[in-house]
Structure 1
Amino acid sequence: MLRRLAPVVLSLLVMVLGVTALAARPQRSAPPHTADFVVVAGVAGLRWEDVDPRTTPTLWRMAERGSIGSLSVRSAHRPTCPVDGWLTLGAGSFAAWNGNRPAGGCPQQAVTVERPDGTGAKLPDQESVVHYNQEQLPWGAVPGSLAESVRCSVAVGPGAAVAAARPFGRVDRYAPALPEDPTQLLGSCVLSIVDLGTVAGTTRAQREAAARTADAQLARVLAARPPHSLVLVAGISDTDRSARLHVAVADGPGWERGWLTSPTTGRDGYLQLVDLAPTALAALGRPMPERLFVGRPAVAVDGRPDLADAIAKPLDAEREAANQRAVAGWFYTLLAAVLMLLAVAVLPLLRRARRHAGPHGPEPVPRRVVAVVELLLIAAALAVPAALLADAVPWWRAERPGLTFAGVTALLVAAGTAAVRFAPGYGSTLGPLGAVAALTALVVGADVVTGARLQLNGVVGYSAQAGGRYAGLGTVGLGVFLAAALLSAGWLAQQVRKGWRPAVMVAVTGLAVVIVGSPYLGADPIGAIALTAGLSVAAVISAGGWLTVSRLAWAVMAALGVTIGLAVLDLRRPVGERGSLGRFLAAFGDGTGGLTLHRFSTSNFDTLVSSPLTVLALAGALLVWFALLQPWGGLMRLFGIYPAMRAAMAGTAVAAVIGGVLGGVALDVAGAAAALVVPMAALAALRVLDHSTDRTVPTSGRPRGVGSGVAGEDGSGSDGGGTGGVGPLGDGGPGGAGGATGGRDAGRVQPGTATSDGPVG
C-alpha cells in the first residue's frame, strides 16, 4: 500500500507546490500620490539616439535628475503614426485614428480643431473616432478616457488636443502654441498635455534640428511648471514605417535617478504608451476608470547608473532589436528548409532500416551514412537553443551582424552536437533524445531563471519594438521548453518502475510548469495551463496502455484543478495586480469577453497565415503522420516498447496546440516544439527499426512464446518479457518485441537462428 500511495502523494505535493508558486507575485508597492499637477510633454518620433548634452541640453539635465525608460508606442495600428500615438495616450488603451492610410506609412494627417469660445476647443471628428475604436477595432478603446478622469485639462498644440479631447470632442482649455509665459496656463488645471513637435527626417542633421527645437520648447515648459508637479516627456509615436523604441523621462518628487517600468512590461527600463495615462492619474491620486485602461501605472526603480551609461543600454537594445527583425526572418526560413530536407533524406533510411532475416532483401544503408544523418538530426534539433544562446555574444555590434550570428550559432550547434555524441549512453535508442532534451531544457530554463536576458530582443525571443512581450518566456522559448521538459521527463520515467512513472512525469514537468507560469520567471500563465494539460495527459499513459475515457477524465480533472486554483487566487487580487489569466476571466465577468475573443481569433489568424513557424508545424505533422506513424516508420514500435516516450510526445502535442491557440499565436508554439521533437522522433525511430530483427538468447526452462526477460531496445528491462511487448507495428500483439527483441547490450545472434520465442515481426 505504501509503495502504491507514494507516487500519488508525490504527485499531489508537486501540484500543490506548483499552484502556490504560480500564485505568488512579485511585491511592488502601489505608485503613491506624488504630485499636485502633471504635465505630459509629447514629441512624436523622439528616440534616445536624438538625446545628447549638446543637441538637447534641457532634456539631458532633466533625464539626469529624473527616471528614464524605453517607451514602446504600440497602438491599434502599425506603425503608430503621430495621431494614433496621441489618441492612445488619451485613451489609456490601444487606439487609432480612422481614415485611410498607405500600407505601412504615416501620412501627414491634419486634425481639425475648432475654437468656438476662445478658451477651450472642439474636435468635430472625435465622435466618429470613438465609434470607429468601439465598433471596428478589437480593443474597444474609448478616446478621451484620460480627460474624463480629471475635472479640468489643458492642451497645447493639435496633437495634445487629440489626447485631451473628451469622448464628445470637447477640450477644456486649449492653446495652439505655448504662450510667451505659459505659467498661468499650465497651472490652471491639474493635467496639462503639450505637443512639442515632431522629430523626423532622413538625415542626421534634420533630426538634430528638430530635436533642438523641441528641447527649446521643453525648456519653456520646465520654467513654467507648477509647484510640486510631475513632468513626463515621451516620444509619443513613430514617424515612418519602422517600429522603434522611444524616449520616456519622468521628473518630479519620488522619481529621482531610477529606471521607469510598469506591470505591463515586467522589465526594468521598459514601459508602454498605454501606461502614461494611468501613471498621470496615479501621481495625482485619482482613481482609474474601470475597464477602460489596459495600461498600468509606471514606477521608478533604483539601480540606474550615470546617464551616459544608462542611455547606452537602451541604445544597444534598440540596435539589437533592429537587427533581430532581419536575422530572425532568414533564420526561421533556413531552419524550415533544413528540416524539410532532412525529412526527405530520412524517408529512404526508414524504408531500409529494418533488417531482414532471410537471404533476400534490400541492402541495408551503410552505417556511416546513418551515423551522419543521425548527427544532422541532432544538430537540427539543437538549432533553436543554440540560437538563443548565441545572444550571449553581442553579434549585433559587428559590422555584418547576420553573418556573425550565423557563425556563432553554427559553432554552438557543433559544440552541442559533439557533447551529445560523446555523452554516456549515446549508443542506446533513447540516449540522443534524452541528451538533446535535457540540454535544451537546461539552456532555456537557465535563461528564464536568470531573468530571460537572452529572450529580450533575441532572434528566437521577442522584440520590445513589436510591443507584444518584454519579460519572461517568449513563444518560441515556450515551444522548445515544454517539448524539452516533457521529453526529459519521459526519458527519466522510462528508467524507473511502471508504478513510479506518473510521479516522475509530474515531478519533472511540474517544475517546468512553475518556471513557465511563475510571475517571477516565465510570466506566462497561459503557457503554464497548456503545459499542465500536456502533463496530465502524459502522466496518465506513461505506465502504458491507451488514453481511456477514465484516464482522460482524471487528466482533465487534474488540469482543471491547477487552472481553477490559479484563476481563483488571481481573481482575488486587486484589479491592478492581476495577471493575464485573471484579467482574461474578469473580461467575461464584466461583459467585455467578446472583445477578448475577437482579439484572440484575429491574432491567431494573422499569425497562422504569416508566421514561418506555421510551415515547421505543418511539415512536422506531415512527416509524423505519413511516415513515422506508418507500419514502416518505426514510431509505433518505439511507442510500444517505450510507453513513457509515447506519453511525453502525446503530452507535447496537447500542450503545444493549447498554448498556441490560447496565447493567440496559432501554430507558433507547435512549430517551435516540432523543431525539437520531430528530428528526435525520427532518430529514435531509425534506431528502433535497426534492432527490429535482433534476437536474444533464450532462457532455459521458459515456455514457448514467453519473453526472455531482456527487453527494451537499450536493454533496460523496463518493459520487457512477460508483458507480451509489441508486434511488428508496436501494437501490443502477442509474441512481439517486448520479450523477443533484445537491446544493444543483450547480444545478437544470426538472423534465422531458432529461439524458443519464435520469429519476430
Structure 2
Amino acid sequence: MIRRLTPYLLVVLSLAGGLAALSMRPATAAEVKRSADYVVLVGIPGLRWEDVTEKGTPNLWRLAEHGSIGSLSVRSALKPTCPVDGWLTLGAGNFAGWKRTTPVSGACPPLNVDVQRPDKIGAFLPDLDRQAVQYNQQTLTWGAVPGALPESVRCTVAVGPGAAVAAARPYGRVDTYQPELPADPKKLLSQCTLSMVDLGSVSGDDKTIRQTAAARADATLARVLAARPDNSLVMVAGLADTDQASRLHVAIADGPGWDGGWLTSPSTGRDGYVQLVDLAPTALATLNRPLPERLFVGQAATSVPGRPAELPDAVTFPADADREAGAQKNVATWFFGILAAVQLGLAITVLPLLRRARRHVGEDQTVRKPITDTVEILLVASALAIPAALIADLVPWWRGGHPGYLFAAVVVFVLAVGTAVVRLAPSFRRTLGPVSMVVTVAGAVVGLDLLTGGTLQLNGVAGYSVLEGNRYSGVGTVGLGVFITGVLLGAGSLAQRFARPWRPLVVVVVGGIGVLLVGSPYLGSDPIGAVALTAGVCIATALSTGGWLTLGRLAAASVAGVAVTAAFSWIEMRRPAGERGSLGRFVEALGDGTGGTTLQRTSKASLDALAGSPLTLLALVGAALLWLALLRNWGGLRRAYGLYPSVRAGAVGVGVAVLLGGVLGGTGLDLAGAAAAVAVPMAALTALRVLDHASDFTRPPEEPASVEVAKGVGAA
C-alpha cells in the first residue's frame, strides 16, 4: 500500500511548499490615495493613440502629459463594440450590448437613440428597457444591468446622446441632460459628483478625416478642462470601435494621485492596459462609493510608475501595441491554418511509411534513407512551429508594410535554425533523441516567457490578443498546450533514463515546477491550467514505472488532483476579490448562486472555440493519426510505449490534462490542438524509428564460416 501511495504523496508534498508560496503576495509600494469630489468621464469612441499629436490635439496631449495613460480594450457583450455598446457597457460596469436588428457589416451604424426631454432638465430613454435591460438580462450571458453605475451615485449629468445611454438609470431616467456642451459648462459639471460627456466619434481609415474629427473633439475638450470642478478626476476614453476591426484605444486619467505613470487594473494584471468595464468601478472608487454587489466585472484602475518621462516616447508603446494587436488576428488565422494543412499533409505522408517501415528478419531497409530523413526533418520542423512563432515576436514584424510576410520570414528563419540544431545534435540518432529535444525546447520557450513577464505571448501570433479581452497576462491557451506537452513528455523522456524506482520522483519534480509556473498569480496566472496540469502529473507519475491505468491508480490520482484543486481554490479565495483568477471567480459564483450563469458562459465559449478555431482542426488531425494509424498494431506507437513506459505515462498525462483544461477553461479543443501540434509529429517520428529497429533484437546471429563451407561442400 505504501508503494502504491508514494507517487501521489510525492505529488502533494512537492506542491505543498509552492502552494504556500502562492498565497504570499510580494511586497508592493505604498498605495497612493486616489480620491476626488467629482469625476468627469469623457467618451470619444474610436479615438486611438495614433490620433493624439502635440499639434493636432494639444489639449489631449497636455492631459496625457500630466496624467496617467494606457491602452483601452473596449470589449463588450457584442462584436464589434459599436459606440452604443461601449456607452452601455460603461454605464453597466459589465459586458453589455444594445439589441441589434441586423448584423454589423462594415462601419457601425450611427448612434441613434430616442432621447426625450419632458422637463428640459433631465431626459428619458423609452427604448432602454426593451432594447437594453431585457436583452442583457434574458438573452446575453453576462447578466449585465444597464444603469448600474448611475444607480450607485446620487445624481448624474450627461452631455450628448452617448452619455445619456451610459447615465440612464435602468428605467430610462437621466438626472440632468444637455444635448450639447454649453459655452461655459462649469455650473453644469458641478451639479453632480459624476458627469459624462459625449464628444463624438473618430472613425474611418482616412488619416485626414480622423485628424479632423480628433481636432474637433479636442477643441470641445478644452471647454471641459477649463470648467472642470476643483479636486476632480477627468478620464478620457476612446470607448468603442467604429467598424468591424477591433483596435486598442486611448485611456487617460488626470486628477489627484494620477500624476504620470501607466494605467493598469487587477482585471488585466498588465501595466499600461485597462478594460472598458474598469472605468465604472474606477469612478466609484475615486468618489469613495461602494461598488454594487455582483454587478461589476471590472476592477478599479490604478496608476503605476515606469512610464518614460517624455510623452512622445511614452505614446510610442500603446500605439505600437495597437498596431501589433491589429496585425495579430489575421496573421494568427493564416499561421494556424497553414500549420494544420502542413500537419495534415505530413499525416497522409506518414501512413504508407508506417506500413513499410517495419523490416522483417534478414531484410534491408524497405524505405530509402533520404526519404525517411526528409520526413523526420519535416516532422521536427512541424513540431517546432509554435515555439518558433513565439520566438518570432522578439522581432517587431508588425511594424512593416507587409506584416504577414515579415512574420513568415522570421518564423522560417527561426524554424530552420531550430531544426538544424536538433538534427545536428549527437542525441538525434537515438530513438528518443528528437522527441526529448523538441519537447524540451517547446516547454523551455514558454517557461522562460512566463518568467520574463509573458511578453512573447502578449498580442503574439501564438499567444493571446488583448482585443479579445480574455487574458492580458500570464499563459494563454496555445502556450499552455505547448507547455503541458513540454513538461509531461519532457519529464517522461527524462525519467526513462533513470532506474525504475526513481522515475516517479523525476516526473513529480519536473511536473511540480510546471504546475507552479502555470498556477502562480505572478507568472502563469492560470489556476485552472494548473489544476489540469496537476491531474496530468498525477497520471504520469502513476504510470511512469509501467503498468496500466487501473481503477485504483485513477482513484488515487483523482484524490491527489482534488487535494491540489482544493488548495488552489483556498488560495484564490484568500486573495482580494479584484485579484482572483478564473477558479476563484467560479468558486465565488457557486457561493452566491450565480454559478449557472458562469457555466452557461463557459459552455458558449467552448462551442464558439470549437466551431471557429483552426486549432480544432489540428486536434482532429492529430487524433485521427493517433487512433487510425499510430496506435494500431502496425503503427509502432504501442511498441514504443512498451519499450519506454515513462514516455507513455507522459503522453497519457498530456491527454488527460488538455481534455480537462479544455472543459474547465471553456476553450474547446484549442488546448488539445496546441498540444497535438507538438506531440503528434514527435509520436509519428518515434513510431517510425521503433518500427525500423523492430527486428534488431530478433535477428539470428551470423553462422560461423566453417559451417558455411560445410554447407557448400554438401551442396556440391
Query: What is the 5 A alignment of 1:586-625?
Result: 586-625=588-627
Q: In the superposition, relative to structure 1, how do residues 151 and 636 fare at CA in structure 2: closer, same or farther (>3 Å)? A: same
Aligned to 1:345: 349
Match of 1:280 in 2: 283
**2:411 paired residue among 409, 412, 420:** 409
Q: Is 663-672 or 17-26 further displaced after alignment?
A: 17-26
Q: Could you say what secondary structure the match of 1:185 adopts?
A: helix
Which residue matches 2:487? 485
Query: Is the contact between residue 91 and residue 165 of structure 2 (CA under 8 Å) also seen in structure 1?
Result: yes
After alignment, is 195-204 or 593-602 more displaced?
Answer: 195-204
Distance 1:402 1:42 in 2: 33
8 Å Cα contact 2:47/2:202 also seen in 1: yes
Contact 2:34–2:256 at 8 Å: present in 1 too?
Answer: no
Of residues 164, 171, 178, the one that matches 1:168 is: 171
Q: Which amino acid aligns with 1:452?
A: G
Partner of 1:707: none
Is 1:312 the equivalent of 2:316? yes
* Alpha-carbon contact 1:603-1:664 (below 8 Å) kept: yes
Shift of 1:9: 6.6
Does residue 322 of structure 1 match 2:323?
no
- Give the AA of the match of 1:492: L
Conserved 8 A contact 2:264-2:303: yes
Q: Following superposition of structure 1 onto structure 2, how do residues 219-238 of structure 1 map, counting pairs within 5 Å?
A: 219-238=222-241
8 Å Cα contact 1:31-1:282 kept in structure 2: no
Instruction: Specify the alignment match of 2:211 in structure 1.
Output: 208
For residues 685-728 of structure 1, what are the alpha-carbon distances to aligned partners after superposition, in whole Å with 9 as ceiling and x for unaligned? 11111111113xxxxxxxxxxxxxxxxxxxxxxxxxxxxxxxxx
* Distance in 1 (alpha carbons) for counterparts of 2:32 and 2:625: 53
- Alpha-carbon separation, structure 1, partners of 2:520 and 2:466: 21
CA contact (8 A) 2:160 2:198 kept: yes
Q: Which amino acid aligns with 2:614?
A: P
Q: Is the contact between residue 357 and residue 751 of structure 1 (CA under 8 Å) also seen in structure 2? A: no
Q: CA offsets per residue over residues 349-403 of structure 1, 9 Å max, x none?
A: 11111111157xx961012221221111111100110011011011122232222
Specify the alignment match of 1:397 in structure 2. Answer: 399
Native 8 Å contact 2:11 2:560 kept in 1:
no
Query: Quick one: structure 1 residues 750 and 283, their matched pair in 2 at CA, closer, same or farther if it must change by over 3 Å?
Result: farther
Residue 161 of structure 1 contacts residue 174 of structure 1 at CA under 8 Å; is this kept in 2?
A: yes
Counterpart residue number, 2:710: none
Tell me, yes or no, if structure 1 residue 143 matches structure 2 residue 115: no
1:10 CA drift (Å): 5.0
Which 10-residue stretch deviates more, 617-626 or 658-667?
Answer: 658-667
Tell me by how many angstroms 1:101 deviates. Answer: 3.0
Equivalent-residue separation in structure 1 for 2:82 and 2:97 (angstroms): 9
Cα drift, residue 12 of structure 1: 3.8
1:469 alignment partner AA: R
Query: Counterpart in 1 of 2:672?
Result: 670
Q: Which residue of 1 aligns with 2:580?
A: 578
| Structure 1 equivalent of residue 713 of structure 2 | none
The amino acid that maps onto 2:444 is L
Alignment of 1:689 onto 2:691: yes
2:589, 2:319 → 1: CA distance?
37
Counterparts of 2:701 and 2:102, CA distance in 1:
75
Pairing 1:648-659 to 2, within 5 Å after superposition: 648-659=650-661
Q: Is the 8 A contact 2:148 2:295 kept in 1?
A: yes
Aligned counterparts of 1:199 and 1:118: Cα–Cα separation in 2: 29
User: 1:3–1:580: structure 2 CA closer, same or farther, 3 Å change rule?
Assistant: closer
Once the two structures are TM-superposed, the CA of residue 147 in structure 1 deviates from its matched residue by: 0.5
Tell me, yes or no, if the aligned pair for 2:8 and 2:538 is still in contact at 8 Å.
no
Distance 2:589 2:425 in 1: 50
Q: Name the aligned partner's letter for residue 201 of structure 1.
A: G
State the TM-score, normalized to the length of structure 1.
Answer: 0.89
1:627 to 605, 626, 629: 629
State the one-letter code of the partner of 2:428.
Answer: Y
Mean Cα deviation higher: 453-462 or 198-207: 198-207
2:199 partner SS: strand
Shift of 1:646: 0.7
1:518–1:173 CA distance, 2 compared to 1 (3 A): same
Instruction: State the Cα distance separating 1:172 from its structure 2 match.
Output: 1.1
Classify 1:30/1:125 alpha carbon distance in 2 versus 1 (closer, same or farther; 3 Å).
Answer: farther
The code of the aligned residue for 2:216 comes to T
Residue in structure 2 matched with residue 714 of structure 1 by the alignment: none
Is the 2:7–2:542 Cα contact (8 Å) retained in structure 1?
Answer: no
- How many residues of Structure 1 are paired with residues of Structure 2 in the alignment? 701
Amino acid at match of 1:18: G
Would the aligned equivalents of 1:32 and 1:283 in 2 still touch at CA under 8 Å?
A: no
Q: Is contact 2:8-2:557 (8 Å) kept? A: no
CA RMSD of aligned residues (A): 2.1
Query: In the alignment, which of 155, 159, 184 is matched to residue 152 of structure 1?
Result: 155
2:183 counterpart letter in structure 1: E
Is 39-48 or 405-414 further displaced after alignment?
A: 405-414
1:479–1:5 Cα change, 3 Å: closer
2:644 matched to 1:637? no
Question: 3-state DSSP class of the match of 2:252?
Answer: strand
1:388 alignment partner in structure 2: 390
Identify the range of structure 1 (530-539 vs 202-211) with the bigger mean alpha-carbon deviation: 202-211
Q: Is the 8 A contact 2:282 2:300 kept in 1?
A: yes
Task: Classify 1:229/1:749 alpha carbon distance in 2 versus 1 (closer, same or farther; 3 Å).
Answer: farther
Note the 1:348-747 alignment, pairs <5 A.
348-357=352-361, 364-695=366-697
Residues 8 and 470 of structure 1, relative CA distance in 2, 3 Å threshold: closer
Q: Deviations over 1:52-83 (max 9, x none)?
A: 01111001000000000000011001110000
Post-superposition Cα deviations, 1:393-427, rounded to whole Å, max 9, x if no partner, equal 11122232222211111111111111112223221
Cross-structure match for 1:95: 96
Amino acid at match of 1:68: I
Q: Against the structure 1 CA distance between its residues 451 and 386, is the aligned structure 2 distance closer, same or farther, given a 3 Å change threshold? A: same
Superposition deviation, residue 446 in structure 1: 0.7
Amino acid in structure 1 at the alignment position of 2:213: A
Does the residue aligned with 2:274 lie in a helix, a strand or coil? Answer: strand
TM-superposed CA distance for 1:310, in Å, is 0.8
Query: Which AA in structure 1 matches 2:23?
Result: A
Aligned to 2:711: none
Q: Which letter does structure 2 place at the counterpart of 1:55? A: G
Please give the alpha-carbon distance, in whole angstroms, between the structure 2 residues aligned to 1:312 and 1:491: 45
Comparing 158-167 with 655-664, greater Cα deviation is found at 655-664
Q: In structure 1, how many angstroms separate the alpha carbons of the residues matched to 2:486 and 2:135?
A: 45
Residues 275-316 of structure 1, C-alpha deviations (whole Å, 9 max, x = no match): 000000111111111100000000000011121011111111
1:70 aligns with 2:71: yes
Greater RCO (Cα-Cα under 8 Å, separation 6 or more): 2
Deviation per CA, 1:735-754, whole angstroms, max 9, x where unpaired? Answer: xxxxx79xxxxxx955999x
Could you tell me whether the CA contact under 8 Å between 2:458 and 2:472 is conserved in 1? yes
State whether residues 21 and 514 of structure 1, in contact with CA within 8 Å, keep that contact through their aligned partners in structure 2.
Answer: no
Report sequence identity in percent.
Answer: 60
Asked whether 1:182 is paired with 2:212, we answer no
Which residue does 1:196 correspond to in 2?
A: 199
Provide Cα deviations, 1:585-618, integer angstroms capped at 9, x if missing partner. 1112112111111111111111111111100000
Q: Residue type of the partner of 1:20?
A: A
Decide which moves more: 546-555 or 120-129. Answer: 120-129
Check whether the contact 1:86–1:163 (CA below 8 A) recurs between aligned residues.
Answer: yes
Residue 37 of structure 1 aligns with which residue? 38
- Bigger shift: residues 568-577 or 340-349: 568-577
2:5 touches 2:556 (CA, 8 Å); kept in 1? no
What is the distance in 2 between the residues matched to 1:8 and 1:480? 24
The 1:4–1:497 alpha-carbon spacing in structure 2 relative to 1, beyond 3 Å, is farther
Task: Tell me which residue corresponds to 1:294.
Answer: 297
- Structure 1 309/30 Cα, relative in aligned 2: closer, same or farther at 3 Å? same
Q: Is the 8 A contact 2:111 2:162 kept in 1?
A: no
Contact 2:14/2:508 (<8 A) preserved: yes
Give the CA deviation at 1:178. Answer: 1.2
- Of the structure 1 ranges 33-42 and 667-676, higher mean CA displacement relative to structure 2 is found in 33-42
Instruction: Kindly indicate whether the alpha-carbon contact (under 8 Å) linking 2:34 and 2:257 is maintained by their aligned counterparts in 1.
Output: no
| SS in structure 2 at match of 1:197 | coil
